[in-house]
Amino acid sequence: MMSTILYSRLYLCRCETKDQDTPYYNECPGNLVSSCSRLYFVDEDETTVVTEWTLVCDRAWLGPLTMSTFMAGVMTGALFLGGLADAIGRRSTITLCLASMVFLNGLAAAAPKFYLYAGLKFATGFFTGGYIIASFVLCNELIGSCDIIITLSIMEV
């Protein structure tokens, strides 16, 4: 099972030329992963997004892209699923969003390709945004205006 830890990992890049076998620590020659003949991560006990798809050197920008796609999904889902909650009901929307979040996160954990993983994170974010909006409004409607500040503060935690 892969985790979405995006912190920088210690790695060793071996660059083999006809003259020598040069090790590079936490860098790649020319900042290109393709210039490494073999890339070793120091702690291979844990599989993360960075280690799974070798998101170091020139591919390091792809790691933070997963969070950006997730947040874009949250924004999009809040826009579209908020109206759906008005149309079909808050409880139905919360149930749909929660089931979709669990299913899509399971698919994302088993994704064999990075771009499929990023797409599944967008879809997970889409339903997360709908879940947040529907549960916020449902809580607001059930509690009433007198205790809403305390209740929503607790809900934020």
Q: What is the distance of C-alpha 151 from the center of its chain?
A: 28
Tokens of 105: 């996160």
DSSP tally for the chain: helices H, then strands E? 5, 3
Q: How many residues does the chain have?
A: 157
Residue type at position 155: M
CA gap 51, 151 in Å, rounded? 41
Position 131 scores a pLDDT of: 94
Please give the pLDDT value at position 50.
73
Amino acid at position 149, single letter: I
Q: How far is it, in rounded angstroms, from Cα 140 to Cα 85?
A: 14
Could you tell me the residue ranges of all domains in the chain? 11-59, 62-156
Query: pLDDT at position 15, please?
Result: 59
**Paired tokens of 15:** 């660059």
What is residue 63's predicted lDDT score, i.e. its pLDDT? 82
User: What pLDDT score does 146 carry?
Assistant: 72
What is the value of pTM for the model shown? 0.76
Structure confidence at residue 93 (pLDDT) = 94
In order along its 157 residues, the chain shows pLDDT tens digits of: 444 444 555 655 555 555 556 666 666 667 676 666 666 666 666 677 777 777 777 777 888 888 999 999 999 999 999 899 989 999 999 999 999 999 999 999 899 999 999 999 999 999 999 999 998 888 878 877 777 777 777 777 6
What three-state secondary structure class fits 132?
helix
